[in-house]
Amino acid sequence: MYSYNNILTDISGENRFGTDLSYESEFEAIENEVSNSTNLFATSKTDWSLVRNNSLNLLENQTKDYRLIYWILLSIQKEGLTKELIVLTPIINSFIIKYKSDVFPSRKKRLYSSINQSVNIINEIAKELINHIDKIESTDEFVVLFSDLETTISTIFESNTDNVSSIINQLKTHKKRLKSSILKDIPDAPVPSQKIEKKTTVASDASLSFTQTEITNDRDANKALRHLQDVARSLSKYWLNQRINDEKVYQLNRTLTWLTIAQVPASNDSKVTMLKPVPQARQQHFQQLKNEANHSKLLIEIEESLSKSPFWLDGHFMVWEILTELKHDDAAQSVIDQLTLLLKKTPDIITLKFDDGSEFANASTKAWLEQQCSEVKSTPVSSQSSFIESNTKSEWDSTLRDAQEQLLQSSLSEALHPLILGHHHSRSAREAFFWQFSQAKLLSHAKKFDLAIPLLRWLDTQFSGSVLRDWDPVLEERLLELWLSCQNQQPVKEQDKAVMAQLRERLCCLNPMRVLS
């Protein structure tokens, strides 16, 4: 086993944390080596021993950076050195206690993302360890080990990151399993113990069975439905582990989750409900899995979150994107079918927001729903349109999606840069329009309406009266709709009522449904 204690020593008396090496050659060398593991065109395999050694060297001598800890954890996972986690966990715990969030990365979003990545790797390695624990005493030791880490993460990072509570729960479950197996292995166990064992078995069977008695009141009916939903979650997870393109999983999960939804959730004048969104840390974790192309794990975890947060429409879009990318068309279509039924019952659902102001459906998701679900299509033309914002192979569309994902971890200027470069390299007026329209969408997505509005006004002046309708009849509608949406979401004092009235009038002439929505 490696010695990790030196990473707890300050770089120097004058500079405890060292310097940020993000753009230094030695840091980028490790980063590139790790990237090789997911690069289809890489010419060599990742040297995980090199990753671990170099990461340790930088942590000990040059910088205190949570990304290096993640790479160390990733390397021991890739090399199958699961027992290293036993030594490394208390070191990581001490590192967090000593350096808190004062070290690198200096941007909090990136720092929290690095913590989440480390926690996820710890969870995965710990699962392997748990499978090999055969003593109750060892289980107790592991519970103490991870409980200390859980307390530290919760205290220092509060609710900004994931935690290791799921490991502790698994350890406690494993302990019960060990106790049960010990009882079964005792040949001359006394009668009372046999009775206890029998009761345990019955209780276990009951957890997977349905009530046998007749339901005679609403209370029992609601209780039975909740039980049915719990069983469905377990069943869906099992089916997904067997085959991620099993379309009945996506049907079952959504049918039972949405079964009791008869109307949209209550909201205020700003369309804000009292519902909690999926935590930002959780969404960043999903994005990381997507970047790593870990499709199976991503689908299982997103489906679990959607069963508890059914109005997170962006999550349904992500599931559909993954299934489509994997060419699981039947499963992807089942997601569309279920969403169409929901939107038919509650068409206003896409206009609502969670209690933090984030939308049930962002701009990309709304465009996708409009394209795919007949109940929210504005006109018959849109279904035949050659311009499909959310599901095209156009470079500006894929760049926009990447930029929206990058916003979770980077600044707006960094996310916007590829779209600006695309505009600079455009070869026609049509390409220039789409690149700049994508910039406006990103600005709107980032809630920079004061920047999106002048850009949309300029695009309207340059293109609406001339070529937009020739390129696509719906393009002008989309531009005006986004412009009006940005105006509506500005503070009341900054809204231009005359412009808004003009936009509504023009939209009404093009497509009244746009104004009604």
- Please report, for the domain that includes residue 502, its CATH number: 1.25.40
- 465 and 371 in one domain? no
Residue 440 vs residues 218, 435, 458: alpha-carbon distances, Å: 50, 9, 11
pLDDT of the residue at 16: 92
Task: Answer whether residue 191 is part of any domain.
Answer: no
pLDDT of the residue at 367: 83
Residues 6+ apart with CB under 8 A from 25: none
Please say whether the beta carbons of 183 and 197 come within 8 A: yes
Report the DSSP beta bridge partners of residue 18: 63
State pLDDT tens for residues 95-136. 999 999 999 999 888 898 899 999 989 999 998 888 888 888
Range of the domain at 419: 394-517
The token pair at 406 is 């990058």
Among the ranges 41-55, 366-380, 441-455, which has the highest mean pLDDT value?
A: 441-455
Identify the burial level of 498 via C-beta atoms within 10 angstroms of its C-beta, where 0-12 means exposed, 13-18 middle and 19 or more buried. Answer: exposed
How far apart (Å, rounded) are the C-alpha atoms in residues 386 and 84? Answer: 54
Please say whether the beta carbons of 58 and 27 come within 8 A: yes
Please say whether the beta carbons of 48 and 78 come within 8 A: yes
- 482 and 441 in one domain? yes
- 256 and 365 in one domain? yes
- 101 and 11 in one domain? yes
List the end-to-end C-alpha distance of the chain, in Å, as a whole number. 62
Task: Answer whether residue 211 is part of any domain.
Answer: no
- 171 and 57 in one domain? yes
Q: Given a cut of 80, is residue 205 above it in pLDDT?
A: no
Among residues 32, 118, 105, the alpha carbon closest in space to that of 70 is found at: 118
How far apart (Å, rounded) are the C-alpha atoms in residues 479 and 457? Answer: 9
Task: Answer whether residue 193 is part of any domain.
Answer: no
- 367 and 257 in one domain? yes
| Length of the chain as a residue count | 517
Tell me the H-state helices in 132-273: 136-157, 165-185, 191-206, 218-242, 247-258
Q: Given a cut of 80, is residue 161 above it in pLDDT?
A: yes
State pLDDT tens for residues 417-460. 889 888 887 777 788 888 999 999 999 999 999 899 999 998 88
- 146 and 20 in one domain? yes
Quote the Cα angle for 300-306-309, to 5°.
150
Task: Answer whether residue 208 is part of any domain.
Answer: no
What percent of the chain clears pLDDT 70, i.e. is strictly above it? 86
Task: Answer whether residue 56 is part of any domain.
Answer: yes
Q: Helix, strand, or coil here: 311?
A: coil
How far apart (Å, rounded) are the C-alpha atoms in residues 240 and 298? Answer: 11
Other CB atoms within a 10 A radius of the CB of residue 135 amount to 10
Residues 6+ apart with CB under 8 A from 120: 162, 285, 288
pLDDT of the residue at 267: 81
Identify the burial level of 490 via C-beta atoms within 10 angstroms of its C-beta, where 0-12 means exposed, 13-18 middle and 19 or more buried. Answer: middle
- 138 and 15 in one domain? yes
pLDDT of the residue at 516: 65
How confident is residue 238, by pLDDT bands cut at 50, 70 and 90? confident
Give the single-character DSSP code of 65. B
Task: Answer whether residue 496 is part of any domain.
Answer: yes
- 120 and 231 in one domain? no
Query: Using CA atoms in the order 61, 66, 70, 75, what is the torsion angle rounded to 10 degrees?
Result: 0
Among 156, 179, 202, identify where a domain stops: 179
Among residues 368, 373, 266, 256, the alpha carbon closest in space to that of 308 is found at: 256
Residues 6+ apart with CB under 8 A from 5: 91
Task: Answer whether residue 492 is part of any domain.
Answer: yes
Residue 387 vs residues 382, 391, 396, 434: alpha-carbon distances, Å: 8, 9, 12, 10
Please give the backbone phi and psi of residue 101, each rounded to the nearest 5 degrees, phi first.
Answer: -105, 25
Q: Helix, strand, or coil here: 425?
A: coil
Among residues 257, 252, 246, the alpha carbon closest in space to that of 331 is found at: 246
More confident of the two residues 162 and 383: 162
State pLDDT tens for residues 463-486. 886 677 666 667 888 899 899 999
pLDDT of the residue at 72: 96
Task: Answer whether residue 267 is part of any domain.
Answer: yes
Among residues 370, 367, 372, 431, the alpha carbon closest in space to that of 404 is found at: 367
Among 349, 377, 405, identify where a domain stops: 377
Residue with tokens 């311009």: 387
- 152 and 105 in one domain? yes
Q: Helix, strand, or coil here: 83?
A: coil
Q: Is the peptide bond before 473 cis (omega within 30 degrees of 0)?
A: no
The token pair at 510 is 């093009």
pLDDT of the residue at 385: 32
- 407 and 361 in one domain? no
Q: Given a cut of 90, is residue 149 above it in pLDDT?
A: yes
Number of H helices, E strands in the chain: 24, 0
Average pLDDT, the chain: 82
How far apart (Å, rounded) are the C-alpha atoms in residues 315 and 306? Answer: 7
The token pair at 157 is 């990072």
State pLDDT tens for residues 242-299. 888 888 888 888 888 887 776 778 788 888 888 888 888 888 888 888 888 888 889 9
Longest CA–CA span in the chain (Å) reads 91
How far apart (Å, rounded) are the C-alpha atoms in residues 104 and 272? Answer: 36
Tell me the H-state helices in 79-164: 84-99, 108-131, 136-157
- 154 and 26 in one domain? yes
Number of domains in the chain: 3
More confident of the two residues 410 and 516: 410
- Average pLDDT (151-160) is 86
How far apart (Å, rounded) are the C-alpha atoms in residues 314 and 123? Answer: 26
